[in-house]
Structure 1
């Protein structure tokens, strides 16, 4: 089984060029300047945190739920190592990425995307030929107060589990009216083409998937607490 996606990404976060041979590193850095330092902060926006200014992508970010719609001949890849990225860059139409212990932050994910883009260029393909998507967990709450409570609960559960990374830092916990804006901002910071949302919830929350017409997404929303 392939090793976790770029276990060296997290270990060498301060030196992304060390992941590539010298020539490829220089080329990658010219195309992808170092991400702003606040990319290492938790994904969820904090009131006092500065907002990173990131150039807008040429193509609008897509936001889909569950599974994206593909053509019947679309080749999808979920690379779990650098060698798998090289293969995907040569053969795949869609490359799916996700946060993990090896890719624990938006900054680390942006560096993986840079590796993907470098591999695509090395394969002689145009970047526009390959869609890079992020699988993202999302928790919706009825209002800001409930969102704060749920965020705290997730952080507590991570600490209780003794994990070496905090999945709560890479989940979007928000209200329906803020969902699309927060997800699109995260996608731009990570430099992915689109996001595939995976709603977290159970019971009655999952039965309300059609209640979010206002944001144009089929997602559950928690009842007021």
Structure 2
């Protein structure tokens, strides 16, 4: 009797565990989409509001110093502009998907959704890569081209830009996981349809 009760309790425990696992797997795409939305929005806003002014003495005429104010902002570099646009586009896409997810009920495995997910991931990744190349140039300069680094003068600008880059790269990784997950779901639905057609 105890063995039977033990077996029944094990089966109940296993079924509860399977139910919780199924719910978590079902919620995973939506969770990843929310995370991608937060990360890409953070990256777009972080770089979009990134601006620093610095006043420096550029010459001395007699005893009077002449100073000039320099400004570093994202609009001065096309790679940073592309970065902001790419992350803003990804944010817009994900917020629209989250808001309209009831319209996609039962169509989560649609091929066009997978293609759009993949396209958005590529746009975010290329934006982050382009901005990273400019950030590296700003940090280290280029001795051969005689371009001086600017991060020693505009430290806050470089720090905020670096944090935006980290958010964007994590967002791109999150979008990659979302794309892989959706491709696995598409593959399973295609296999299921093939099995149904073979049995008929």
TM-score tier after normalising by the smaller chain length: under 0.3
TM-score (norm: length of structure 1): 0.23
Higher helix proportion (structure 1 or 2)? 2
Query: TM-score with structure 2 length normalisation?
Result: 0.25
Of structures 1 and 2, the one with the larger relative CO (CA 8 A, separation 6+) is 2
Q: Which has the larger radius of gyration?
A: 2
